[in-house]
Amino acid sequence: MKHKDAKVNEPTAEYQISPVSIPVILKVGADRLKEPLSRLEIFRNGLPKKSFESLKELSGLDYNTLANALGVSSKTLQRKDTFDTIQSEKIYELADLYTIGVNYFGREGFRRWMDRPLFSLGNRRPLDLIDVSEGIDLLKIEIMRLQHGVAI
């Protein structure tokens, strides 16, 4: 049998994964989120519904899960046009978490990571910790450990 040299000619394509960022998720100008005092004003004035909906779409979380994380009912979330200070700050914290997570794991990978129990978190699912700021901080630390190859 004679072997042919198989040469495949495919068009060259360059793929770039655009990094996710907080301004992209929240649909707010990057310059407005850069400075802490500007963020304070944004939180006090309230993030708009489009910021929440963008986070909801990226995270893949349902209204009930996000309502629990924000400390309101799912009906309230569906009716809100502008979020209050505390809810706006929490939406920002979640956007920060999802920025770190999606940029490290990818969108679907981070969704799976958030839904499975982790030994390092006492066999809790990361999703069960997003209702408290300290829980969000723990998740960010956990991702940073993974990024730097720190054993659990």
pTM given for the model: 0.86
- pLDDT tens digits along 141-150: 999 999 998 8
Query: Does residue 17 register a pLDDT over 60?
Result: no
Q: Is 18 left (phi over 0), alpha (psi -120 to 50) or beta?
A: beta
Of the chain, the percentage scoring pLDDT greater than 70 comes to 87
Q: Is 106 exposed, middle or buried (0-12, 13-18, 19+ CB in 10 A)?
A: middle
**Residue 12 or 126, more confident:** 126
> For the chain, where are the alpha helices, taking DSSP H only?
22-26, 30-34, 36-45, 49-59, 63-70, 74-79, 85-105, 107-115, 133-147
- pLDDT tens digits along 97-142: 999 999 999 999 999 999 999 999 999 999 999 999 999 999 999 9
- pLDDT tens digits along 77-99: 999 999 999 999 999 999 999 99
How many beta carbons lie within 10 A of that of residue 131, not counting itself? 16
| Domain residue extents for the chain | 22-147
d(CA 99, CA 107): 10
Please give the pLDDT value at position 9: 57
> For 60-122, where are the alpha helices, taking DSSP H only?
63-70, 74-79, 85-105, 107-115
d(CA 119, CA 152): 8
